[in-house]
């Protein structure tokens, strides 16, 4: 006994086929649309499936493709029922169907259906023909051709839209997805259709989308309300609006806002850094003047006394503290000044050699690996400031590797084209690049986002002031360059600096 499924949205066709096939001693089940068919197929394993071509939600062509992808239906005989076979060419072989019958007078259709029924058993050995059965005495209808051309037009529009668009049913199953939506989700159309929309999302996003859909159903949500969520590593804005045709489904629009968010965050960060910079500059100057006053007066007092004076030691210690305060101020000025004092042509490789030697001597548990470009171009820079940047990076790397580790120092010439996509405005034609990589504790996202802020530190009181990277940032910017960081918790950190080559 052959098992059959008939899928058609037209009740008359369903009834006709069901009766006809039952009379041929077949077991028959029916479904009114593609989605219903897939539900039936999850428990029923027919030998032949008759599929209407044009149906609401998942259409016949798509349904065929979905069924063909499922290994358990590889041998199932798929028969398309087409009401538009005369008006348009139905290339049913291309979407996986075995035969196609034109919808016409029942008496004619009956013959072809019975033919198919007997052929289905032996067809595997026969070559399939692309001919549509029952087309001979049908004639083309103008109105059908026109409607088909309108349908195609809308399909082209939906296909061309860069926003992702989906339609979902009232129980959240996906019945339509345009190419943009499919590519944003990174899942094939066949897998996407009929699946639960909410399952595209994880954790908190899924909950929020679920709530939004519920609100849409009881009309407490305004039209086109949006939420932000992540699919396939992209940040998306998701807008949901009800379908206004008596059904209870929804239309979902996906807008990729990954870039937009990135630029907003970057802009906010830059504005923040600039305003803090102005503040720091003012304070640093005032403090510097005060310090110079203290330093001058201490020196005068010291000049007037010998080392056996009871206040001599105290004054010396004041002098020392003033010196370390001055170096702090220097860091802060480095961040705030964004200018260069004594500019000379220099080669960064030499400075790296000298600075890393200090590190090598003081931290024998750290292995330094150098890969310095022999032909590295010169830069025009303030040696003292660049040295300060290098020292700050090396000290931080050392702090991140309390048990020792590896430190990689790499330099290279890069052209403006290679760094085109970076966030800073590429002005010069040629840059040099320095990469400082450690194998230390690394940083989480929250830390990474704040490291260039002045006074941001994760180190205990008295160990860090949080000015090292802020000053490095200011100095590099003042040199027309750019500094960026890549880091992952537990895996290490890599700082990249670009400076215009001369
Ligand atoms: N190589 C690194 N690995 C891991 N975390 C780092 C690294 N470099 C910087 N950080 C993080 O960035 C923070 C800020 O660094 P920054 O150099 O500005 O200040 P600091 O080192 O804390 O203090 P100081 O003013 O003494 O330099 C550090 O506290 C640390 O959390
Ligand atoms: Mg530091």
CATH number for the 338-500 domain, one of 3.30.565.10, 3.30.160.40, 1.10.10.60, 3.40.50.300?
A: 3.30.565.10
What confidence score (pLDDT) does residue 423 get? 63
CATH T-level fold of 161-256 = Beta-Lactamase (3.30.450)
pLDDT at 35: 93
Confidence band for 125, pLDDT divided at 50, 70 and 90: very low
- Residue 452 alpha carbon, nearest atom of ligand 1: 18
Ligand 2 center to 462 CA (angstroms): 12
* pLDDT at residue 421 in the model: 61
Whole-number Cα distances in Å, 287 to 10, 292, 376, 470 = 85, 8, 39, 18
210 Cβ closer than 6 Å to some ligand 1 atom? no
More confident residue, 248 or 181: 181
Average pLDDT, the chain: 88
Is the pLDDT at 281 greater than 80? The verdict is no
pLDDT of amino acid 124: 55
Q: 454: how many CB neighbours lie within 10 A of its CB?
A: 23
- The CA distance from 436 to 486, in Å, is 10
Q: pLDDT category, 393, cuts 50, 70, 90?
A: very high
| 395 Cβ neighbours under 8 A, 6+ residues apart | 468
Q: Is the pLDDT of residue 339 over 60?
A: no
Query: Cα(372)–Cα(138) distance, rounded to whole angstroms?
Result: 79
Ligand 2 center to 41 CA (angstroms) = 63
Nearest CA to ligand 1 atom 29: 457
- pLDDT at residue 43, as a whole number: 94
Share of the chain above pLDDT 70, in %: 94
Find, among 154, 175, 176, the residue nearest to 164 by Cα: 176
DSSP secondary structure code for residue 173 in this structure: B
State phi, psi for 453 to the nearest 5 degrees. -75, 135
Average pLDDT, integer, range 92-116 = 89
Q: Which atom of ligand 1 is nearest to the CA of 396?
A: 8
- Confirm or reject: Cβ of 330 under 6 Å from ligand 1: no
What's the residue count for the chain? 502
- 385 CA from centroid of ligand 1 (Å): 18
pLDDT for res 492? 96
Domain 3-133: CATH architecture, name and number where available: 3-Layer(aba) Sandwich (3.40)
Q: Give the residue extent of every domain in the chain.
A: 3-133, 161-256, 260-321, 338-500
Amino acid 338: pLDDT: 52
Q: Does the fold of domain 338-500 match that of domain 161-256?
A: no
């Amino acid at each position: 006994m052959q098992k059959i499924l008939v899928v058609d949205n037209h009740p008359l066709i369903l009834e006709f086929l069901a009766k006809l096939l039952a009379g041929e001693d077949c077991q028959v089940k029916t479904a009114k649309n593609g989605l219903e068919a897939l539900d039936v197929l999850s428990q029923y394993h027919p030998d032949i499936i008759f599929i209407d071509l044009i149906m609401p939600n998942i259409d016949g062509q798509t349904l065929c493709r979905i069924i063909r992808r499922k290994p358990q239906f590889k041998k199932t005989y798929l028969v398309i029922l087409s009401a538009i076979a005369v008006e348009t060419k139905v290339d049913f072989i291309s979407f996986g169907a075995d035969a196609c019958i034109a919808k016409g007078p029942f008496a004619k259709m009956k013959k072809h259906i019975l033919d198919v029924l007997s052929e289905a058993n032996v067809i595997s050995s026969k070559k399939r023909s692309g001919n549509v059965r029952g087309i001979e005495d049908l004639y083309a209808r103008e109105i059908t051709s026109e409607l088909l051309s309108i349908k195609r037009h809308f399909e082209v529009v939906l296909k061309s839209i860069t926003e992702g668009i989906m339609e979902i049913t009232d129980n959240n199953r996906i019945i339509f997805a345009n190419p943009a939506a499919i590519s944003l989700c990174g899942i094939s159309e066949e897998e996407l259709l009929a699946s639960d929309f909410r399952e595209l999302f994880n954790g908190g996003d899924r909950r929020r989308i679920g709530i939004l859909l519920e609100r849409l159903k009881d009309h407490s949500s305004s039209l086109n309300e949006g939420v932000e969520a992540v699919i396939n590593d992209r940040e998306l804005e998701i807008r949901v609006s009800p379908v206004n045709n008596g059904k209870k489904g929804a239309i979902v629009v996906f807008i990729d806002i990954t870039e937009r968010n990135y630029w907003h965050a970057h802009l906010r960060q830059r504005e923040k850094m600039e305003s803090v910079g102005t503040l720091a500059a003012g304070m640093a100057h005032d403090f510097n003047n005060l310090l110079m006053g203290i330093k001058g007066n201490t020196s005068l007092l010291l000049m007037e006394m010998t080392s056996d004076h009871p206040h001599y030691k105290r004054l010396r210690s004041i002098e020392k503290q003033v010196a370390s305060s001055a170096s702090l101020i220097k860091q802060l000025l480095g961040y705030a000044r964004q200018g260069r004092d004594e500019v000379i042509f220099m080669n960064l490789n030499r400075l790296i050699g000298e600075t890393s030697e200090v590190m090598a001597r003081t931290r024998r548990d750290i292995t330094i690996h150098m890969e310095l470009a022999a032909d590295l171009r010169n830069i025009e820079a303030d040696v003292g400031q660049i040295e300060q940047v290098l020292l700050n990076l090396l000290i931080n790397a050392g702090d991140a590797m309390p048990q020792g580790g590896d430190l990689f120092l790499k330099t290279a010439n890069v052209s403006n084209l290679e760094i085109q996509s970076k966030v800073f405005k590429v002005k010069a034609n040629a840059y040099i690049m320095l990469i400082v990589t450690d194998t230390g504790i690394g940083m989480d996202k929250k830390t990474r986002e704040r490291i260039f802020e002045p006074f941001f530190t994760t180190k205990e009181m008295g160990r860090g002031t949080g000015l090292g990277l802020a000053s490095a940032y200011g100095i590099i910017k003042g040199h027309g360059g750019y500094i960026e960081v890549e880091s992952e918790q537990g895996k290490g950190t890599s700082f990249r600096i670009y400076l215009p080559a001369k």
